[in-house]
Amino acid sequence: MTFDLIVRNATLPDGRTGIDIACESGRIAAVEPSIAADAGRVIDANGHLVSPPFVDPHFHMDATLSLGIPRMNRSGTLLEGIALWGELKPLLTREAVKERALRYCDLAVSQGLLAIRTHVDVCDDRLLAVEALLEVKREVAPYIDLQLCAFPQDGYYRSPTAAENLERALDLGVDVVGGIPHFERTMADGARSVTALCEIAEKRGLLVDLHCDETDDPMSRHIETLAYETQRLGLHGRVNGSHLTSMHSMDNYYVSKLLALMAEARVSAIPNPLINIVIQGRHDTYPKRRGMTRVPELRAHGIEVAFGHDCVMDPWYSLGNADMLEVAAMGLHVAQMTSRDDMRWCFDRVTKGGAAVMHLDGYGLDVGCNADMVLLQAADPIEAIRLKATRLAVIRRGRVIAETPARVASLALPGRPATVDPASYAPKDASEDAG
C-alpha cells in the first residue's frame, strides 16, 4: 500500500503520542501508531504536535494591510477606526482590495491558518469590496476556506442604502448575514435590526454573525434580542454574537439570566482578545476595564466559543501577524484561564471552535476528514501557545503547501550548549497534578 503522504510520530491535540497520519486523495486514510506502508512523501514529526489547521472565524479582509492609508488612528477607539475606514472607503479600488487580501492569505497559509470568516462592508453602494472578496474566495479555495459575511459597517438602518446593499451582497453569493446593532442610532433601532437580520437569514437559510454589543456600555443588551430571535425563528446553532464586550461590564445578576438564554438558543460567541483589550476601556480612567466578554462563564454554560483575530494592520489595529496562537495567548491572559485544562481549551478555540462556528465540513484529524493539518515545533497545545510555535509544515488536502525551518538558535557561550531549541524546554510532566 502506498499513500500520498504519511506524517509519522506525531503528538495530537488530545494527548495521543507516537501517531502516524496517512493521507490519500485529499483525505485522512488512517490515524494509528506505526502505519506499515510507503508514501509519496513521509514527514517525521519527531514527536511534535500535529493539529488541524487554525481557524479565524472573525476577520476584516477588506481592510487588512491598509495601515496608514490615509492616516493613523490616533485615539485608538472603535469610533475613530470606523471614521477612518469611512475616509479610506472612497479611495478603495477593487484591484487594491484584492491584492491586499491575497497577500494576507499568503501570510495566513504560512501560519497554518486555512479557514477564515471575513466580514465585508456592504455600505459602499459600489459593493466593490464584496466583488473583490468574492473573487478572492474563488481564487484561494484550493488552500483557504474563505467565508464572507455581509457587514453593514455604518448601520443597517443608520446607513440609508445598507439594507438594500446587504440583500444585493447576499444575492451575489455572500454566505453569512452580519450586522452592528450597537452602532444604530438608538437601542430600539439596534433591536429592530437584529430582528430584521435574523429574519433575512431564516428566509434565505443562512448563518448569522453580528458584531454585537462591541461597547463598554453595560446597557447594550442586543445579545438578549439575538438569543430571543434565534429561538423564535428556530435558528438554533446557526447564530453567532461577535465581541459581546458589554457583557464584561454588565450586572452579574443580569448575566446569570442571559447566559442561560444564549445556551438555550445555542448562540455561539466570538471574543476577539487582541482587539477587545486595546479598544475597550478607552473611556475609563482607573480602574481600566479589560472589556473582553466573560469567556470562562460562557464555557461553564456549554456555549460554543471561538477566538477571532478581527484585524491585522488596519484602521483599528496596527499589529497582528495572522498568528492564531498569539490570539489564543492573549485570550487566556485576559480571561485569566491559566490552568492546564483551561489553556488546552483555549488552543481549541482557535482550531475546532472556529470550525464549529463556521460549520466547516470534514474538519479534524479523524479518518475521512480532509487531509489538512499543521506540524508545529512544540510538544503539545500549551507549548504551542507558549512559544507561538513555528509552523514546520502546513498541509492542505494531503499536500505540503508551506514550510518553515525549525527555530534553533546557535550559542557562542563557553561551557554552554551549542544550540537552543525552544521546544526542548517543555515540562517533563505537564499533567494537571504534576509536582
Question: What does residue 141 show for φ and ψ, rounded to 5 degrees?
Answer: -50, -35
Give, for 201, the enclosing helix (H) or strand (E): helix 187-204
Decide if 55 contacts 115 (C-beta within 8 A): yes
d(CA 16, CA 149): 36
CB of 309 or CB of 386, closer to Zn ion? 309
Closest CB to Zn ion: residue number: 310
CB of 281 or CB of 398, closer to Zn ion? 281
Q: How far is the CB of 190 from Zn ion (least distance, A)?
A: 16
Taken in order 212, 218, 221, 227, is the CA torsion positive or negative? Answer: positive
- Residue 302's alpha-carbon distances to 209, 261, 263, 298, 299, in angstroms, are 19, 12, 7, 7, 5
Residue 24: strand pairing partners: 27
Q: How far is the CB of 154 from Zn ion (least distance, A)?
A: 14
CB of 21 or CB of 226, closer to Zn ion? 226
The residues, any chain, with a CB within 8 Å of residue 300's CB and separated by 6 or more, are none
Decide if 273 contacts 307 (C-beta within 8 A): yes
Q: How far is the CB of 58 from Zn ion (least distance, A)?
A: 6
- Cell 477588506, residue? 62
CB of 153 or CB of 370, closer to Zn ion? 153
Half-sphere exposure of 178 (CA within 13 A, CB side): 31
Q: How far is the CB of 153 from Zn ion (least distance, A)?
A: 9
CB of 193 or CB of 377, closer to Zn ion? 193
Q: What is the dihedral of CA 117, 123, 124, 125, to 10 degrees?
A: 120
Q: Which of residues 23-42 bind Zn ion (CB under 5 A)?
A: none
Q: How far is the CB of 142 from Zn ion (least distance, A)?
A: 26
Active site residue 139: no
Q: Is 152 left (phi over 0), alpha (psi -120 to 50) or beta?
A: beta
Three cell numbers at 117?
A: 470568516
Binding mask 251-290 for Zn ion (x = CB under 5 A): ----------------------------------------
Choose, from 184, 214, 224, 229, the residue flagged as catalytic.
214
For 14-39, the DSSP string reads: TS--SEEEEEETTEEEEEESS---EE
CB of 225 or CB of 276, closer to Zn ion? 276
Tell me, by CB under 5 A, how many residues bind Zn ion: 1
CB of 310 or CB of 383, closer to Zn ion? 310
Q: How far is the CB of 73 from Zn ion (least distance, A)?
A: 15
Q: How far is the CB of 369 from Zn ion (least distance, A)?
A: 29
Alpha helices for 350-421 (secondary structure H): 352-357, 381-387
Binding mask 293-332 for Zn ion (x = CB under 5 A): -----------------x----------------------
Contact residues: Zn ion, CB under 5 A? 310
Catalytic sites, residue numbers: 214
